[in-house]
Structure 1
Amino acid sequence: VGAETAQAEVEEAMTAASEAEPSAYEEVNNNYEDAGDVNPIEQLVEGVPIDVTFPVNTSMSQIHERLAYDIVIQSKVDSIVINNVTINRGNNCNINDYSRDKFLPANLKFGRYTRLSIDCDVNYIKEVEVETNLGNYKFDQFVQR
């Protein structure tokens, strides 16, 4: 019964939000939706649409003879565009220029990911901000590195 009530409340909130901002549900050309048109209630209900992890880049680790890492951003929704990634607010850790130029923006479907080389040790990453067509998401607690 509680789940049914919660679901009804969510549906009411989404209906009210769509009436307040009808453009949130309109189709947009080129599968790109301006972050200003995102329905914040729907975003809260659905949760964060991406996961962020930091696997070891074995090829670069062998070349540089030290551990090198990548940042992997994986979609948890049917469609999302990763426009930009900022690590530590742009201080002391960056996405490799080649990765940024070649792989961003990244159009991802559910389960797909983009892997970008970074130029720092993951132990020093305190914050990652991912800019998407569904809004910007900050991550500051990393369980898996």
Structure 2
Amino acid sequence: MGRKDFTYLEEPRIREQEWGHLRTPEEGKKVEADRDTYGTFYFRIPDGESAADVYDRVSDFFGTLHRDFEKSKYPYNAIIITHGMSIRLFLMKWFHWTVEEFELLANPANCDIVLLERHGDEKYVLKTPYINTTNPITIIRDR
């Protein structure tokens, strides 16, 4: 099975967070420490993006996806392949998580599968357990 056997779209809005210019490993660790101190969502990486910037891109993509799902000929299922931060921000947007809830969660690891399942009441449920760095948490909310 190859690319010609299914429909796909490369979507630049859900690309990885921009980390700015190349840095030494020590400089990269300093940026990560500063971000951890300030907060992941609002901290803007020097010459790069904050998670809030990525959230704006993901939100724009989300709007397009929502409109596409309303089309009669759009597939019933979609597979979205992207980076951990973009997945985390997509889930934040989808489930209306607060910044505080976002900060409790870690990014999914590379190649992790995150499954959203649609129930008969047209609500989506996050079926994949979501783990932060210290404690498993479950955010249950009907929105």
> With structure 1 as the length reference, what TM-score do the two structures score?
0.26
Structure number with greater Rg is 1
Structure whose residues are more often strand by fraction: 1
